Structure 1
Amino acid sequence: MTTVMATDTLAIATRALTKQFDRHVAVCEVDLQIASGEVYGLVGPNGAGKTTLLRLLAGMELPTAGEIHLHGRRFWCDARGNPLRQYLGYLADDFPLYDEMTVVEYLDYFARLYNLRQPKRRRRVQEVLELVQLTTKRHSAIATLSRGMKQRLGLARTLVHEPLLLLLDEPVSGLDPRARLQFRDIIGTLREAGMTVLISSHILSDLAQICTAIGIMELGYLVESAPLSVLHDRLGSRWLYVSAPGALEALTGELRNAPQVGELEVVSQSRAGTGPTSGQLRARFNGSEEDAAALLRALVTANIPVTEFRCTPDDLETIFHALDHQQAS
């Protein structure tokens, strides 16, 4: 169960937020809470309502019902010149780019739209160029940039007015692994600076690297919302991988006697002629880090030649499927 916090302690809080298009309910009575400084990942299948929720939070759509609070203040989406919009940086999946502009012209244009004046405007444009690693491309035409560079330029545009909240809709979609890593590093820098980020993505491995909390949407409902560590504890498992050349049988016996070790399987094994068997074992591990250290000491004391000993939690994709299976049953 999600703990209810006072809205003035949260960067984003919604109450029964709903958006209906004709007969289709895209977002249904969503109660979302995101603490200040959190990086919150929003996941779910296509059509789950993620983009509509982000557009509601950005003031791009009017809610059919419900409330939005930003840093404890009611966000009236239909109010022109709402000062709370200055809090927001919103990067849509189809954000506009003007190919004939240079990078610095593009950022300066949006900085002027946010009423940044010189010399602050020039300084801020330089700051975001450095953040997204596009300083050397400042005078390049946007048409000449790679897809990853264009995505980073879009992020710079959302940051130029120094927002407190960043809303990112599928920002790494279609990017190659190197570009995704660069984007992930930038989000990590923003997190260290204390910015609140809400990011939707289908790439769960990226979210697991940068997010502190996860929300899962299905058919317009927010069906799960919790810190990533809580989801790991509740829905995930920890797996122990151990290798011992020439002592697979002895290793198996020691692990089966350990109270924190659950199901056990042989991942690989080999035998040199008629000699002892070598291999790697994988076991579900229910103990703490201290228990793992004690188990390793016990194996060494038992003269097991351990060459590998590591504990690995389930990845976010496994947890997502576990939750899906839990709800289906």
Structure 2
Amino acid sequence: MPSKRLSVVVTRRLPTQVETRLSELFNVTLREDDTPMSKHDLVEAMKTADVLVPTLTDHIDAGMIGQAGPQLKLIANYGAGVDHIDVDTARNRGIMVSNTPGVVTDDTADMVMALIMGVTRRIPEGMAVMQSGDWAGWAPTAFLGGRLSGRRLGILGMGRIGSAVAKRAQAFGMQIHYHNRKRLRPEVEESLDATYWDSLDQMVARMDIVSINCPHTPSTFHLMNARRLKLMKPDAVIVNASRGEVIDENALGRMLEAGELAGAGLDVYEHGTDVNPALRNLPNVVLLPHMGSATREGRLEMGEKVIINIKTFADGHRPPDQVLVSML
């Protein structure tokens, strides 16, 4: 590696402590305002930077990577998901990609439980009544929701976050079921009291609540498509704090409008900020603005991992969180 300080371009505003530390270690170009870079600006940054630090709002495709300068050798993603980066093309160009895994596990799992409770206990509906000033007082049949204890929770994707969701749901007395590419080890299954389903179709047809906790890959795109959503029970609920592309949002909106599903809790959306209008005004849908990982502690830890990945690379070693194509 060259002895000069690395040139690092950061595409979004990061916590002040993270930006300060990056500036101490590297020649950093920081973002002045907290808006996504244009495609043109991203390409220009990739033409001159040794290291690019993007976030999930930066879609870096093969064409953009093809225009990168020969000095760009690391894309140190600020976040765990890398579906917005063409990792295979980057590898072929000799550009390593790193991420920040494990940091937001607990934060996201907490948010999954918040979505489950929000939908099943009708919390946003209650808040709306109180904020409007229309509450007429307690009534035996008002805002009746469902008890979590004893409900069957089907977790789609039993990685770090899925397992953390299972532990939390277990504490609520829920029955844990899961579908995953690989079955968990027997001792892990036993600790979670979790039932494995080889068939996703069979699992979703029997669950009271389905939680999406798998990444977005070509094989998981619309994994919960119209056919599979229709397998769910009419009184079932679906929540998603993973990636919006896993659910066919149009099909979900139609089913919720028709009363074919009891509710949904979403923190992510198939088309980013372009949320399906059918979902916006339904009382049985809880919508959040991608808040799953939004804790001060998590954002700082993500920054620390980015710094470690870049520093390790600068020292001539592979970043500890390098993303390999075989991992995707």
The TM tier, using the shorter chain, reads under 0.3
* Higher share in strand: 1
Return the TM-score normalized by structure 1: 0.26
TM-score between both structures, scaled by the size of structure 2: 0.26
Whichever of the two has the greater Rg, that structure is: 1
